[in-house]
Structure 1
Amino acid sequence: MRFSVLGSGSRGNSVYIESGATGILIDNGFSGKELEKRLLSIGRSLDNITAICLTHEHNDHVAGAGVISRRCKVPVHANPGTFEGAEKRLGKLYQRADFATGDELSIDDLQVRSFRISHDTLDPVGYVVSDGTKHFGYCTDTGKVSKLMELRLARCHGLVLEFNHDPEMLKNGPYPLMLKQRVRSSHGHLANEEAGEFLGSLVHNSLRVAVLAHLSETNNTPNFAMAAALPHMPADHPARLLAAEQDKATDLFQL
């Protein structure tokens, strides 16, 4: 199984995961042209997309999902709350595929299980994706960590976790008070230290790649996020640790 974070942040999010002949996107907040460019940068194309799975209805996660569904003739999987919230942004889909939060989906060579997270949307989820041997976990846009999240992500070989903001940068930054309160709330976004502790609870000997994602361009830096994560990784652990970028894709990692 392989994956790449095609871009992560408030201006667009998408992750590509593949096994065998199956390739799925978790979210797509990019235009069709931009998504195609990022896929080409990792040696893939729109032809590799089998399905799209949505986490929640915010524009930076769904803006380009409808376009890709229609253009590539692929289904979009989401729970009813996300479809309700994203209906106007998605437009007409090639195929709408509803699931209940917590369901496990079979998408050709991949099994995809959703789990509940905490964000200010109708029914936000994270995902664990498996090919039967390896497991990949995706959890961003959550204001708090739960035992359920830890349970679902515990044995993943690859992780993408939210490291959204540095509390001092947020406190002293340009956001209006109401937005600062939203980000800090239990339905907002994880701060670096909270995220670092969460990562530490998920580290095991078979973890191969951990990507710090959804960094705020206004209230965080890659150096701050990495500084919060590193103390929770054993010094001799073989996993690769890196911060995703907004403007370009990561490598295509093999788990």
Structure 2
Amino acid sequence: MPKGKGDTPLSSAGKLSFASLGSGSKGNATLVSDGETSVLVDCGFGLRETERRLARLGVHPRQLDAVLVTHEHGDHLRGVGPLARRHGVPVYLTPGTWLSGRLGEVPQRHWITPQARFAVKSLVIDPITVPHDAREPVQFRFESRGCHLGVLTDLGHPSEHVIEAFRGCDALILECNHDRHMLEIGPYPPQLKRRVGGNWGHLANIQAAALLQHLGLDRLQRIVCSHLSEHNNRPELALEALTPLLDGDASRLTIAAQDSGLQWQAIR
């Protein structure tokens, strides 16, 4: 295994791999690596907690080549500035996300232009505009050595633009934020329920299933249910919504949990 810039190993050399530090309303962060290049998508945990969760996955912050930011909400942005300042990690984000004023100064800042492909060393990255209630939100599609990974969370509905952009992935990290019935009868005030369940909020289990049908399932080796709501969803409900699309075979499905995240997953 390669050792990058730190003292701990990353994912297997030559394979596009991913892992989750944790996913949910209390913090989100996803690792993507092909053994040569390693990036962190979002960092919604405090600095010490981020360092602890990275270590759990065998990664030191010095091994990161970049942090890519999807949008400015705290559960995605909270730890980005402290991590970048402490360890000198470059930050990539849209001008709209920067103009939210929630990041603070960072040592190296790079602009992301939605729909404009860019590269971080060996990783080729497509930033895709998504319908979400943020200033200039994007999600990401990664390519390395012919393998494709989609990271697709925090979108209110599966727009045609999103469907086209994420077709043909080999693995997909997909938002399954809420069960509509649980949201309806749950503890949130009416205004927050409307926001979460609206076209600029978060994806329901049933919407995630519909999106998968449009994307096609033949090529997908791994589907990760992510960003599950603590109050409005349960892992078994997310799995129940998606499993019928796989003819009852749930072996390709897994959950990115809030506390335990998800261990390294390699794409063949």
Q: Common fold, TM-score beyond 0.5?
A: yes
Q: Aligned match of 1:68 in 83, 88, 93?
A: 83
Aligned equivalents of 1:191, 1:205: Cα separation in 2: 23
1:84 aligns with 2:84: no
1:253 aligned residue: 265
Question: Which position in structure 2 is the counterpart of 1:232?
Answer: 245
Question: What is the SS of the residue equivalent to 1:90?
Answer: coil
Paired position in structure 2 for 1:243: 255
Q: Which residue of 2 aligns with 1:129?
A: 142
Displacement, 1:20? 2.7
Distance 2:27 2:67 in 1: 15
Hey, what does 1:12 align to over in structure 2? 27
1:84-134: CA deviations, max 9, x gaps? Answer: 11x2x3211011101211111110010111011111111111110111311
Instruction: Give the letter aligned to residue 258 of structure 2.
Output: Q
Partner Cα distance (2:131, 2:138) in 1: 8
Structure 2 distance, partners of 1:236, 1:249, is 22
Secondary structure of the structure 2 residue equivalent to 1:210: strand
Q: TM-score, with normalisation over the residues of structure 1?
A: 0.95
Contact 1:212 1:243 in 2 (8 A): yes
- Correspondent of 1:3 among 18, 31, 39: 18
Where does residue 5 of structure 2 map in the other structure?
none
Provide Cα deviations, 1:139-192, integer angstroms capped at 9, x if missing partner: 111111112211121111111111011111111111101001111110011111
Question: Does the CA-based 8 Å contact 1:49-1:72 persist in structure 2?
Answer: no
**Letter of the 1:82 counterpart:** T
Partner of 2:50: 35
- Cα distance, 1:235 vs structure 2: 4.0
Structure 1 match to 2:3: none
| Cα distance, 1:204 vs structure 2 | 3.4
Once the 2 structures are TM-superposed, how far is the Cα of residue 245 of structure 1 from its aligned partner? 0.6
The residue aligned with 1:47 is: 62
Partner in structure 1 of residue 6 of structure 2? none
% of aligned pairs identical?
A: 38
Q: Distance in 1 between matches of 2:120 and 2:247?
A: 35
Secondary structure of 1:111's counterpart equals strand
Q: For 1:48-197, list aligned pairs within 5 A.
A: 48-85=63-100, 87=101, 89-197=102-210
User: Structure 2 vs 1, CA of residues 192 and 236 (structure 1 numbering), >3 Å: closer, same or farther?
Assistant: closer
Structure-2 separation of matches of 1:187 and 1:205: 29
Contact 1:42 1:249 in 2 (8 A): no
C-alpha distance in 2 between matches for 1:176 and 1:184: 12
**Residue 24 (1) aligns with residue 39 (2):** yes
2:62–2:89 CA contact under 8 A, matched in 1: no
In 2, the alpha carbon distance for the partners of 1:30 and 1:121 equals: 19
Q: What is the Cα deviation at residue 205 of structure 1?
A: 2.9
In structure 1, distance between residues paired with 2:184 and 2:218: 37
Report the AA paired with residue 71 of structure 2.
H
Take 2:64 and 2:252, find their aligned partners in 1: how far apart are those partners?
A: 26
The DSSP-based 3-state class of the residue aligned with 2:139 is strand
Segments of structure 1 that go 5 or more residues without pairing to the other structure are none
Q: How many residues align?
A: 252
Instruction: Name the CA distance, whole Å, in 1 between partners of 2:261 and 2:237.
Output: 20
How far the C-alpha of 1:236 sits from its partner, in A, is 5.5
Given that residues 171 and 180 in structure 1 are in contact (C-alpha distance below 8 angstroms), is that contact kept between their aligned partners in structure 2?
yes
Aligned partner of 1:212 in structure 2 is 225
Cα distance in 2 for partners of 1:205, 1:229 equals 14
